Structure formats: structure tokens, C-alpha cells
Amino acid sequence: MQVAAAAPYDVVIGNNLLGELPGLLGDDVRRVAVIHPRALRTSGDAIRDDLTAAGFTAHAIEIPDAEEAKSAEVLAYCWSVLGQAGFTRSDAIVSIGGGTTTDLAGFVAATWLRGVRVVHIPTTLLGMVDAAVGGKTGINTAEGKNLVGAIWEPAGVLCDLAALESLPRNDYVSGLAEVVKCGFIADPTILDLVEKDPAGASAPAYEHTEELIARAIQVKADTVGGDLRERTTTVGGAIGREALNYGHTLGHAIERLERYKWRHGAAISIGMVFVAELARAAGKLDDATADRHRAVLESLGLPTSYRADAWSHLQDAMKLDKKTRADRLRFVVLDGLAKPTILEAPDPSLLVAAYAEIS
């Protein structure tokens, strides 16, 4: 499917897609850096060897697994490899890995020489349905999640479904949290497909996996296509890309408190139940849709509650959420199923009441 952008690009879903890579890199590219996490060393080396055989000068850059990759130190390490290998503006980055790899590699591409071409090959469910699409890139700091980054769109995204077979179950289920998010904010058929057989949906062999992936990518592509830079949300009016941040205000705060050791989808799962309770307490969301959050996420084995004693720390962390304006917290909530909106500066008593429901 195609993502509308200044330079529109394709997200390809299928099997054995690596043959598409040279075409996505373009005719000018001579050198390619293949950025991969430690766990995917074999895949990274194989892509490097294929590109070398196809006439490119290819380098493999190994980065740490998971959130450890999204740091200033790893970013600087990648810059130094590119500098030593003489990377110019006609050279390119290929990322192969999960969302942490595509976020880091995308930021390397955005910043090297102020921007070089990047192709993403996501290997996790979360990477395919969310992180590799839409151009958000970045790293974490001790103060918060994704606080430093850039919007830098890829030249193409290759989602090779075979990669999901080696993914640990907890990482697969973490990706399902973002799929379910797309169900609540835009495409309720996703929820029906998950609820039909939650145990089956928790593994890539599920009969509806490809449809779930395609539907979630469609939600992401449609949303970023209309508001790439997250600027169109108006108070009480239309909501653009910020809708994709559903559950992320509290979710990112939990990730920071857990020092980025938690899976993203697990934290976002709790964050979605929190905003469902907040919307219910604010009189916006009906009981059935609010209750559906906890039911569907728990049926997948995702967490839906967090420590009662953490509230003041979470409040502090949320102050640095990217949707916050001055001292006004802003939450994506639902006015109803698939009707996302922004709740501006909710009364503290509503926040406390919502947190009491999940703690």
C-alpha cells in the first residue's frame, strides 16, 4: 500500500521480499549501511552480502537489542562508522529489526549529512504495523521517551511476514497492542478479528494475521498521510496524527519509570485502559466501549494495571509528553468507538479517579 507523502512510498507486505531492496535504493546509491540489532546479526550479514553481490559497497552496523539501541551513544557510534566509511549524500541506510532499530536507524538517516535515503525492513509485528511507517524517528533520554528525534520518511518499507516466526511471543503480543489501538481509534473490524479468537490472534499463524497487519498499516498510512507533522489537531475539533498517540501519554511515562526495560506495547496497553477510564469519568465514553479495552487487551495477555504508589512520578513524567502545551496535559480519548478527540487539561480529580481504576 502507498503512503501519501512529499515523496510517496510503498509499504509492501509479503514473503521473500529482499529482491525488492536494490530497486528501492535507487540508481545513485553506491554505499549502503545495514543497521541491525545483535539478535539479527545473521540477517544483517546476509543482506550486506546480497548487496555486495549486487554491486554495492555494503557495511553492516550492529546495534544493541531493544531500547538500549535508542541512545545518544549508539547514534554517535553509527555516525562515526558512516564517517569512517566515507558515506556521502548519494549513499543509503537500510534498517532491519524491530521498532527500536527502525527508530534509531531512521534518525541516523535523518541526521547524517542532514538526510540520506533510508529503507526499513521491520522484523517485528510492531515495526511492521507502526514504527517503520510514517517517518517518526528518534531516541530516548533519561528524562523521557523519544524526546529527541526527527520526522524522516523512508523510501520504502518491506514487511517480510516470515520474520515473525522467530519473534518471541511476548514481543509479538506487544505489537498487538498497537494493532488493537488502531481498532479503537479508527477500524473496529480489527477488534472483531482479535475478539473472535484471542489465543489464535496471539501468534502469527492466525488465519487473520495478514488482514490485521494490512488494516493496521492502512490506519497508520491514512493518518500520517493527512497530518505528517502532527499539526492539525484543533481544540474540540478535528484530530490528526495525534490519534496514533492513543494510550501513549501514560504509556511513555511508565516506560520511563521502568527505565525502558518494559516492552512498548505492554506500557501502551495500560495507557489505553487509563484513557478509556478517563474518558468514561469525563462523561465522554460509554461503559461498553470503555470495558471493551480491558477485556480485549487482557484476553491477549497484555497488562492493564500499574502500581498505585507510582502516580506522582507518572504525573511528573507526563509533563514532558510531546502533546503537552506549557503546563496543560493533553490526552487522546474517545468520544465513542473510532471517534478520537483531545481532552485538554482534565481536572486533576478525573485523572486520580481514572488512575484508581487501573491501579
Ligand X SMILES: NC(=O)c1ccc[n+]([C@@H]2O[C@H](COP(=O)([O-])OP(=O)(O)OC[C@H]3O[C@@H](n4cnc5c(N)ncnc54)[C@H](O)[C@@H]3O)[C@@H](O)[C@H]2O)c1
Q: Name which position in 67, 178, 255, 277 contacts ligand LNCXM5UN (CB under 6 A).
A: 178
| Element containing residue 331 per DSSP (H, E) | strand 330-334
Q: Which is nearer to ligand X, 193 or 224 (CB)?
A: 224
Which positions from 32 through 61 interact with ligand X, judged by CB under 6 A? 37, 39-40
Dihedral sign for Cα atoms in the order 330, 331, 333, 338: positive
Closer to ligand LNCXM5UN by Cβ: residue 134 or 346: 134
* Residue selected from 123, 146, 269, 304 as contacting ligand LNCXM5UN according to rule CB under 6 A: 146
248 binds ligand LNCXM5UN (CB under 6 A): yes
Distance of CA 27 to the CA centre of its chain: 30
CA distances from 181 to 84, 99, 337 (A): 42, 16, 11
Kindly state the smallest distance separating residue 179's Cβ from ligand X, in Å.
11
230 binds ligand X (CB under 6 A): no
313-342 footprint of ligand LNCXM5UN as x/- string (CB under 6 A): ---------x--------------------
Distance CA 200, CA 206 (A): 5
In the complex, least distance from residue 70 CB atom to ligand LNCXM5UN, rounded to whole angstroms? 10
Is 321 among the residues that bind ligand X (CB under 6 A)? no
Q: Which does 248 bind (CB under 5 to 8 A by kind): ligand LNCXM5UN, ligand X, none?
A: ligand LNCXM5UN
Residue 251 binds ligand X, judged by CB under 6 A: no
Compute the distance between CA of residue 21 and CA of residue 204 in angstroms, rounded to an integer.
24
**# binding residues, ligand X (CB under 6 A):** 30
Site for ligand X contains 291 (CB under 6 A):
no
Cα(138)–Cα(125) distance, rounded to whole angstroms?
19
In angstroms, the CA 134 to CA 223 distance is 9
Q: What is the largest CA-CA distance in the chain?
A: 63
75 binds, options ligand X, ligand LNCXM5UN, none, Cβ within 5 to 8 A by partner type: none
- Residue 269 interface partner, choices ligand LNCXM5UN, ligand X, none, CB cut-off 5-8 Å depending on type: none
Q: How far is the CB of 32 from ligand X (least distance, A)?
A: 20
Measured CA to CA, the distance from residue 178 to residue 190 in angstroms comes to 11
Instruction: Give the integer Cα–Cα distance in Å for 267 and 274.
Output: 11
CA atoms within 13 A on the CB side of 58: 21
Q: Measured from the CB atom, is 134 or 154 closer to ligand LNCXM5UN?
A: 134
Spatial CA neighbour of 240 closest among 157, 325, 342: 342
Supply the DSSP string of 114-180, one letter for each residue.
G--EEEEEE-SHHIIIIITSS-EEEEEETTEEEEEEEE---SEEEEEGGGGGGS-HHHHHHHHHHHH
Q: Which stretch binds ligand X (CB under 6 A): 92-100, 200-208, 269-277, 319-327?
A: 92-100
Cα(186)–Cα(125) distance, integer angstroms: 19
Instruction: Count interface residues toward ligand LNCXM5UN (CB under 6 A).
Output: 10
Between 111 and 124, name the residue whose CB sits nearer to ligand X. 124
Closest CA to 323 of 260, 269, 274, 251: 251
Near ligand X in 108-147, by CB under 6 A: 123-124, 126-127, 130-131, 134, 136, 146
Q: Which residues bind ligand X (CB under 6 A)?
A: 37, 39-40, 65-67, 70, 97-101, 103, 123-124, 126-127, 130-131, 134, 136, 146, 163, 166-167, 171, 174-175, 178, 264
Binding-site residue ranges for Zn(2+): 178, 248, 264
Q: Which residues bind ligand LNCXM5UN (CB under 6 A)?
A: 130, 134, 136, 146, 178, 241, 244-245, 248, 322
